[in-house]
Amino acid sequence: MIIQKGGSKDHVHKFIQDLSEDKAWWVTVKPFRKNRSLLQNAYYWPVVVGLIAQETGNDQDTVHEGLLGVCFGYKRIFFDGAWREIPNRRSSKLNTKEFNEYLECCCRWAATEGIYIPDPDGYFKSNPVK
């Protein structure tokens, strides 16, 4: 349930008051955060990750993990008897603005490797989302 900025909370109060008293409820309130969009995903996986995978010979999961590390850095963890490096952040936790910044980072990195990534506007003009 979303309460719009400056909006009334009455419907939330009513919703909670109407909950059955026959069972326990877990109620969480947190700030609204818009996650990355389906359009961003439709560009990231086939275009950004797909083209880099094609050019480097790596699979898409490896490219995705590598891009996360390039853009957000790595942290070392001890797991299963060995030290490992994992990305500091995950893309699933990014909002739309942060994901756009991440996409820009990925494309800049690809350019340094000589890999051309078409911009989203040009890509979607020739490949409309259905």
Phi, psi of 128 (to 5 degrees): -60, 140
Residue pair 66/32 in contact by the 8 Å Cβ criterion? no
- For the chain, domain boundaries: 34-126
Superfamily, domain 34-126: NinB (1.10.3790.10)
Residue pair 88/73 in contact by the 8 Å Cβ criterion? yes
Task: List per-residue pLDDT tens for the chain, 130 residues long.
Answer: 667 777 777 878 888 888 889 999 888 887 765 667 888 999 999 999 999 999 999 999 999 999 999 999 999 999 999 999 999 999 999 999 999 999 999 999 999 999 999 998 878 777 777 6
* pLDDT value of position 32: 61
**What's the pTM value of the predicted model, to 2 decimals?**
0.73
